[in-house]
Structure 1
């Protein structure tokens, strides 16, 4: 099991690469295909794609707030407005969604290029709390890679994730695992034990599958994992 620490330059460098792979996938989708269910319950592929476009806009909004000195919300209007915008976007055609993702991808790359070491350290307001602006790069890389596989297409699966994405994110997700376990329980993941108390499950397999399991993509991960016992984690966020 590989490990590494989070690296802001790596995230900034990988965001456009991940976005380009996503754009290539979207360019081949038909209107019928984007209406089909995604891996995410209740969401079509169109919902996933619309969410990725809205997420890019949110990250650009936060970066602009940092650079102008006028702090911004990632999603003005809160969850209700965000969900309504995703629902609206999901009704667009395949070409319209592909164009929207393409343009928002470019916008986020340009926004990141304007940042400096000091500005990456300034605080921004995510829905989950206040974080350094560097989280925008981290979050975008993660969102694009995870939701690319959420489309449920054979052309991009968890096995398609670049090794750098897996090796960067897996240690961070494993570090959060003890807090996600039921009190008084532990799990064995590969050679390592997480949590305290009785070991209720053992999970082993390729790093990409372990990461997908930690991300809550159990259905995508299960075919590649050996699982003994049972543990149910709360929804990943």
Structure 2
């Protein structure tokens, strides 16, 4: 359907959002504890709302229509950052690094932190860089050097 015109695409997005809202509102409480099958494997039903929000926010940036990772709500950017780092922890292709985002009292660690570079910056910028939605222009690396090269996200 990507070849459709903008009005048709927008209508489709709006209608799918309405269907999602209706389905979420109709979910009985006990159903949120179920496991659902997704294209990436089983997932707790309770994570579906987060998954939808993640898809909308990340792909909104992908449209290159003026919405940037800096426009992500801070809570969204921090949750996305934690999710991406959790995924990197099990990926042998992920370089070791320590991540610090503004205002955080703790660090996020990928691999062995001993000798690993520390990458610091705003949570949206870190999340954008790790998901391939930004080059990390606002990030700093200590010791001074290039940003690590994270593997492709999803």
Greater RCO (Cα-Cα under 8 Å, separation 6 or more) = 1
Q: State the aligned residue count.
A: 145
Match of 1:163 in 2: 74
1:224 aligns with 2:138: yes
Query: What's the TM-score once normalised by structure 1's chain length?
Result: 0.55
Distance in 2 (alpha carbons) for counterparts of 1:197 and 1:161: 28
Match of 2:118 in 1: 202
What SS is found at the alignment partner of 1:222? coil
Q: Deviations over 1:69-120 (max 9, x none)?
A: xxxxxxxxxxxxxxxxxxxx11101111111111111111001001122101
Q: Is the 2:93–2:151 Cα contact (8 Å) retained in structure 1?
A: no
Q: Is the 1:203–1:225 Cα contact (8 Å) retained in structure 2?
A: yes
Q: Is the 1:187–1:202 Cα contact (8 Å) retained in structure 2?
A: yes
Q: Which runs of 5 or more residues in structure 1 are unaligned?
A: 1-88
Equivalent of residue 85 in structure 2, options 174, 190, 194: 174
Q: What is the CA RMSD across the aligned residues, in angstroms?
A: 2.1
Q: Deviations over 1:203-236 (max 9, x none)?
A: 211111011122232xx24222124344322211
Distance in 2 (alpha carbons) for counterparts of 1:152 and 1:181: 31
Q: Deviations over 1:127-182 (max 9, x none)?
A: 1111221222121010000000111122x111111122123332232233322353
1:91 aligns with 2:91: no
Distance in 2 (alpha carbons) for counterparts of 1:233 and 1:171: 15
Change in Cα spacing, 1:94 to 1:145, as seen in structure 2 (3 Å) is same
Query: What's the TM-score once normalised by structure 2's chain length?
Result: 0.81
Q: Deviations over 1:184-218 (max 9, x none)?
A: x521212634312764533211111011122232x
Runs (4+) of structure 1 exceeding 6 A deviation are none
Distance in 2 (alpha carbons) for counterparts of 1:103 and 1:197: 46
Distance in 2 (alpha carbons) for counterparts of 1:197 and 1:141: 31
Q: Which runs of 5 or more residues in structure 2 are unaligned?
A: 101-105
Match of 2:150 in 1: 233
Match of 1:56 in 2: none
Q: Which is helix-richer, 1 or 2?
A: 1
Distance in 1 (alpha carbons) for counterparts of 2:88 and 2:63: 25
